[in-house]
């Protein structure tokens, strides 16, 4: 006959685990010997090893009893059902890990892969992370409101980056993040934006990619709150007959 400590050692578990199995009814409590100690036989060792094996394999303790009492065929079916449940749980946990990874990565949380790739391309151009955050937040709003437009717009943005004027504009934006309002590079940026807008109008490609007025206003407001220096650019553009930020448009001559 074995003491509880000897039983636990033979089965490879702790005494605390044995007591827990007693408490939940998985392992029957034996009677006590003449010294007042519980005495366990070989059957208790086998039962405890079975419990420990099933629990170690991922079988919930609530179902261990069911399997231990099942006939061979029922046992097989029960194990198969538990395996199916475990595989579903593994998939759920894997999905959770992916979502957590996106959360840790910032822009991956709420953006499609095409936008993340575009932001990475801006990083490769050397753009400051502060500007990346501004772009990211704008894309989050676009992706939430008009997800069906995102991939087409990203294609156009990648095409634009093939033009040296676009790359030059991004470089100027990067250089003037902390510039004073009278920095001459601000005027250089406005010159470049106007030149690009004239070319876009002539090519029939001006616009804001089909974004509605409310979303355009929201994005303009968000940009000005995050980058107040953008107001200087807007003011200079207006003096030249252009309006807007997300959607830059020509102001009719009779309104100038």
- Summarize pLDDT for 126-166 with one digit per residue, the tens: 999 888 888 888 888 888 888 888 898 899 899 999 999 99
Are residues 176 and 229 in contact, defined by beta-carbon separation less than 8 angstroms?
A: yes
Q: 129 is written with which tokens?
A: 């992370």
Ordered by start, the domain boundaries in the chain are: 4-69, 108-250
- For residue 68, the model assigns a pLDDT of 83
What's the whole-model pTM score? 0.54
In 3D space, the residue among 40, 46, 34, 36 whose CA is nearest the CA of residue 19 turns out to be: 40
What class does CATH assign to 4-69? mainly alpha
Give me the helix-helix angle, 184-202 and 230-239, nearest 10°. Answer: 60
What is the chain's length?
256
- For residue 191, the model assigns a pLDDT of 93
Residues in the chain, pLDDT under 50: 255-256
């Amino acid at each position: 006959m074995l003491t509880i400590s000897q039983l636990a050692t033979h089965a490879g578990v702790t005494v605390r685990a044995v007591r827990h199995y007693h408490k939940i009814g998985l392992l029957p409590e034996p009677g006590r010997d003449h010294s007042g100690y519980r005495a366990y036989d070989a059957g208790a060792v086998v039962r405890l090893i079975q419990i420990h094996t099933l629990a170690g394999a991922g079988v919930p303790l609530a179902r261990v009893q069911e399997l231990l009492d099942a006939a061979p065929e029922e046992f097989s079916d029960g194990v198969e059902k538990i395996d199916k449940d475990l595989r579903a749980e593994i998939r759920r946990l894997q999905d959770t890990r992916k979502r957590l990874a996106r959360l840790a990565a910032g822009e991956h949380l709420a953006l499609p892969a095409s936008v993340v790739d575009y932001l990475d391309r801006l990083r490769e151009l050397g753009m400051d992370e502060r500007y990346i955050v501004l772009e990211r937040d704008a894309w989050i709003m676009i992706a939430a409101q008009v997800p069906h437009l995102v991939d087409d717009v990203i294609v156009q943005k990648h095409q634009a980056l093939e033009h040296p004027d676009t790359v030059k504009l991004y470089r100027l934006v990067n250089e003037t993040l902390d510039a004073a309002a009278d920095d001459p590079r601000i005027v250089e940026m406005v010159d470049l934006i106007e030149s690009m807008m004239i070319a876009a109008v002539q090519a029939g490609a001006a616009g804001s990619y089909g974004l509605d007025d409310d979303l355009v206003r929201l994005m303009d407001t968000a940009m000005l709150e995050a980058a107040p220096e953008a107001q200087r650019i807007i003011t200079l553009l207006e003096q030249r007959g252009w309006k807007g930020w997300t959607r830059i448009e020509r102001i009719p001559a009779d309104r100038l």
